[in-house]
Protein backbone atom coordinates (compact mmCIF):
# COMPACT_ATOMS: atom_id res chain seq x y z
CA UNK A 1 0.00 0.00 0.00
CA UNK A 2 2.66 2.47 1.06
CA UNK A 3 4.84 1.72 -1.97
CA UNK A 4 1.98 2.53 -4.35
CA UNK A 5 1.24 5.84 -2.62
CA UNK A 6 4.91 6.78 -2.55
CA UNK A 7 5.20 6.07 -6.28
CA UNK A 8 2.27 8.39 -7.05
CA UNK A 9 3.73 11.13 -4.84
CA UNK A 10 7.05 10.84 -6.65
CA UNK A 11 5.29 11.43 -9.96
CA UNK A 12 2.99 14.19 -8.71
CA UNK A 13 5.23 16.63 -6.87
CA UNK A 14 2.30 18.58 -5.41
CA UNK A 15 1.25 15.50 -3.39
CA UNK A 16 2.73 14.53 -0.03
CA UNK A 17 2.75 11.11 1.60
CA UNK A 18 2.13 11.88 5.26
CA UNK A 19 3.34 9.67 8.06
CA UNK A 20 7.10 10.28 8.11
CA UNK A 21 7.37 12.79 10.95
CA UNK A 22 6.22 15.84 8.98
CA UNK A 23 4.58 18.82 10.63
CA UNK A 24 3.42 21.10 7.81
CA UNK A 25 2.80 24.73 8.83
CA UNK A 26 -0.47 25.98 7.33
CA UNK A 27 -0.69 29.46 8.84
CA UNK A 28 0.30 31.27 12.01
CA UNK A 29 -0.65 28.95 14.84
CA UNK A 30 -1.87 26.10 12.60
CA UNK A 31 -0.20 23.00 11.16
CA UNK A 32 -0.98 19.64 9.54
CA UNK A 33 0.15 16.14 10.52
CA UNK A 34 -1.10 12.82 9.24
CA UNK A 35 -0.94 9.05 9.12
CA UNK A 36 -2.82 6.43 7.10
CA UNK A 37 -4.84 5.23 10.13
CA UNK A 38 -6.53 2.02 8.94
CA UNK A 39 -9.47 0.55 10.89
CA UNK A 40 -8.01 -1.54 13.71
CA UNK A 41 -10.77 -4.14 14.20
CA UNK A 42 -11.45 -3.20 17.82
CA UNK A 43 -14.74 -1.29 17.56
CA UNK A 44 -18.22 -2.80 17.80
CA UNK A 45 -18.17 -6.60 17.83
CA UNK A 46 -14.44 -6.68 17.14
CA UNK A 47 -13.14 -9.99 15.86
CA UNK A 48 -16.50 -11.60 16.73
CA UNK A 49 -18.16 -9.93 13.74
CA UNK A 50 -19.45 -12.21 11.03
CA UNK A 51 -18.93 -9.71 8.19
CA UNK A 52 -15.82 -8.86 6.24
CA UNK A 53 -15.19 -5.60 4.44
CA UNK A 54 -15.17 -5.78 0.62
CA UNK A 55 -12.00 -3.64 0.79
CA UNK A 56 -10.05 -6.60 2.11
CA UNK A 57 -10.52 -8.47 -1.17
CA UNK A 58 -8.90 -5.61 -3.08
CA UNK A 59 -6.02 -4.71 -0.74
CA UNK A 60 -3.17 -7.13 -1.39
CA UNK A 61 -1.84 -6.95 2.17
CA UNK A 62 -5.22 -7.99 3.59
CA UNK A 63 -6.59 -10.43 1.01
CA UNK A 64 -6.39 -14.20 1.07
CA UNK A 65 -5.60 -14.52 4.79
CA UNK A 66 -7.51 -16.07 7.65
CA UNK A 67 -9.85 -14.05 9.85
CA UNK A 68 -7.42 -14.36 12.76
CA UNK A 69 -4.52 -13.12 10.64
CA UNK A 70 -6.66 -10.31 9.24
CA UNK A 71 -7.62 -8.96 12.65
CA UNK A 72 -4.04 -9.34 13.81
CA UNK A 73 -2.88 -7.23 10.87
CA UNK A 74 -5.60 -4.64 11.49
CA UNK A 75 -4.61 -4.40 15.16
CA UNK A 76 -0.98 -3.93 14.14
CA UNK A 77 -1.89 -1.13 11.73
CA UNK A 78 -3.93 0.53 14.45
CA UNK A 79 -1.02 0.40 16.89
CA UNK A 80 1.27 1.91 14.26
CA UNK A 81 -0.97 4.93 13.82
CA UNK A 82 -1.46 5.35 17.58
CA UNK A 83 2.31 5.20 18.16
CA UNK A 84 2.88 7.68 15.36
CA UNK A 85 0.46 10.24 16.77
CA UNK A 86 1.93 9.67 20.23
CA UNK A 87 5.32 10.70 18.85
CA UNK A 88 4.29 13.59 16.59
CA UNK A 89 1.22 15.26 18.08
CA UNK A 90 2.64 16.48 21.41
CA UNK A 91 5.48 18.29 19.66
CA UNK A 92 3.13 19.75 17.05
CA UNK A 93 0.80 21.05 19.78
CA UNK A 94 3.72 22.65 21.59
CA UNK A 95 4.49 24.64 18.45
CA UNK A 96 0.98 25.29 17.10
CA UNK A 97 -2.30 26.13 18.78
CA UNK A 98 -4.43 24.33 16.16
CA UNK A 99 -3.30 21.07 14.58
CA UNK A 100 -5.13 19.43 11.70
CA UNK A 101 -4.84 15.63 11.70
CA UNK A 102 -5.32 13.83 8.38
CA UNK A 103 -6.06 10.12 8.58
CA UNK A 104 -8.16 7.49 6.81
CA UNK A 105 -10.71 5.79 9.07
CA UNK A 106 -12.70 7.77 11.66
CA UNK A 107 -11.00 7.49 15.07
CA UNK A 108 -14.27 7.38 17.05
CA UNK A 109 -17.30 5.08 16.75
CA UNK A 110 -19.80 7.95 16.94
CA UNK A 111 -18.25 9.53 13.83
CA UNK A 112 -18.76 6.41 11.67
CA UNK A 113 -21.88 6.51 9.50
CA UNK A 114 -22.99 4.58 6.43
CA UNK A 115 -25.75 5.94 4.17
CA UNK A 116 -26.32 8.62 6.78
CA UNK A 117 -26.97 6.17 9.62
CA UNK A 118 -24.65 5.13 12.47
CA UNK A 119 -22.63 2.02 11.61
CA UNK A 120 -23.80 -1.14 13.36
CA UNK A 121 -21.61 -3.24 15.61
CA UNK A 122 -20.90 -5.78 12.86
CA UNK A 123 -19.36 -3.14 10.59
CA UNK A 124 -17.65 -0.91 13.14
CA UNK A 125 -14.53 -3.13 13.37
CA UNK A 126 -13.88 -2.35 9.70
CA UNK A 127 -14.78 1.35 9.87
CA UNK A 128 -13.07 2.78 12.96
CA UNK A 129 -9.51 3.15 14.25
CA UNK A 130 -10.02 3.14 18.02
CA UNK A 131 -6.27 2.96 18.68
CA UNK A 132 -5.72 6.34 17.04
CA UNK A 133 -8.84 7.79 18.66
CA UNK A 134 -7.73 6.91 22.17
CA UNK A 135 -4.31 8.43 21.58
CA UNK A 136 -5.69 11.63 20.03
CA UNK A 137 -8.17 12.16 22.85
CA UNK A 138 -5.57 11.41 25.53
CA UNK A 139 -3.07 13.89 24.09
CA UNK A 140 -5.71 16.60 23.77
CA UNK A 141 -6.60 16.19 27.45
CA UNK A 142 -2.96 16.31 28.51
CA UNK A 143 -2.17 19.56 26.68
CA UNK A 144 -4.37 22.37 28.05
CA UNK A 145 -4.52 24.74 25.07
CA UNK A 146 -4.63 22.10 22.36
CA UNK A 147 -7.11 22.28 19.50
CA UNK A 148 -7.40 19.40 17.04
CA UNK A 149 -9.39 19.00 13.82
CA UNK A 150 -9.40 15.43 12.48
CA UNK A 151 -9.99 15.01 8.73
CA UNK A 152 -10.88 11.48 7.64
CA UNK A 153 -13.08 9.46 5.30
CA UNK A 154 -13.41 5.71 4.59
CA UNK A 155 -17.11 5.37 5.51
CA UNK A 156 -18.19 7.56 2.53
CA UNK A 157 -20.86 9.20 4.72
CA UNK A 158 -20.33 12.77 5.90
CA UNK A 159 -20.07 13.77 9.55
CA UNK A 160 -18.97 16.91 11.38
CA UNK A 161 -18.97 16.31 15.13
CA UNK A 162 -17.13 17.33 18.28
CA UNK A 163 -15.44 14.84 20.58
CA UNK A 164 -14.93 17.64 23.10
CA UNK A 165 -14.33 21.39 23.10
CA UNK A 166 -10.80 20.54 21.92
CA UNK A 167 -11.37 17.87 19.25
CA UNK A 168 -13.53 18.04 16.11
CA UNK A 169 -13.93 15.23 13.58
CA UNK A 170 -14.84 15.93 9.95
CA UNK A 171 -15.60 12.88 7.80
CA UNK A 172 -15.64 13.35 4.04
CA UNK A 173 -18.46 12.14 1.83
CA UNK A 174 -18.06 10.16 -1.39
CA UNK A 175 -19.83 7.67 -3.63
CA UNK A 176 -18.18 4.61 -5.10
CA UNK A 177 -16.30 5.58 -8.26
CA UNK A 178 -17.42 9.20 -7.77
CA UNK A 179 -14.93 10.97 -5.49
CA UNK A 180 -15.80 14.55 -4.74
CA UNK A 181 -14.19 17.68 -3.39
CA UNK A 182 -14.84 18.22 0.28
CA UNK A 183 -14.88 21.49 2.17
CA UNK A 184 -12.09 23.92 1.26
CA UNK A 185 -10.18 25.43 4.17
CA UNK A 186 -8.44 28.69 3.34
CA UNK A 187 -5.00 29.04 4.89
CA UNK A 188 -1.73 30.79 4.08
CA UNK A 189 0.61 28.02 3.06
CA UNK A 190 4.19 27.98 4.34
CA UNK A 191 6.97 26.82 2.08
CA UNK A 192 8.62 24.25 4.33
CA UNK A 193 7.70 21.41 6.64
CA UNK A 194 9.01 21.21 10.16
CA UNK A 195 10.47 18.04 11.57
CA UNK A 196 10.28 17.06 15.22
CA UNK A 197 13.99 17.88 15.58
CA UNK A 198 13.24 21.47 14.56
CA UNK A 199 14.82 21.24 11.11
CA UNK A 200 13.13 21.98 7.79
CA UNK A 201 12.14 19.60 5.01
Supply φ then ψ for residue 131, to 5 degrees. -60, -45
Three-class SS state of 183: coil
Calpha distance 57→61 (Å, rounded): 9
Whether residue 60 contacts residue 70, with contact meaning beta carbons closer than 8 Å, is answered with: no
Q: What is the mean pLDDT of the chain?
A: 87
Which parts of the chain register pLDDT below 70? 1, 187-201
The domains of the chain, with CATH numbers, are 19-171 (3.30.750)
Tens of pLDDT, residues 77-136: 999 999 999 999 999 999 999 999 999 999 999 999 988 899 999 999 999 999 999 999
Whether residue 41 contacts residue 131, with contact meaning beta carbons closer than 8 Å, is answered with: no
Please tell me the predicted confidence (pLDDT) of residue 5: 81
Please tell me the predicted confidence (pLDDT) of residue 116: 86
Amino acid sequence: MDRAVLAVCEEQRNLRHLGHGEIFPLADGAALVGHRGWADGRAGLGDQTDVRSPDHKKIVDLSGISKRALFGKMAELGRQSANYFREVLPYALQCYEHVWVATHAPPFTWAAFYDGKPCGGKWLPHYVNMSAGGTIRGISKAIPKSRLSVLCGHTHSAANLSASDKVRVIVGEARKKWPQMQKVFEVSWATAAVRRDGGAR
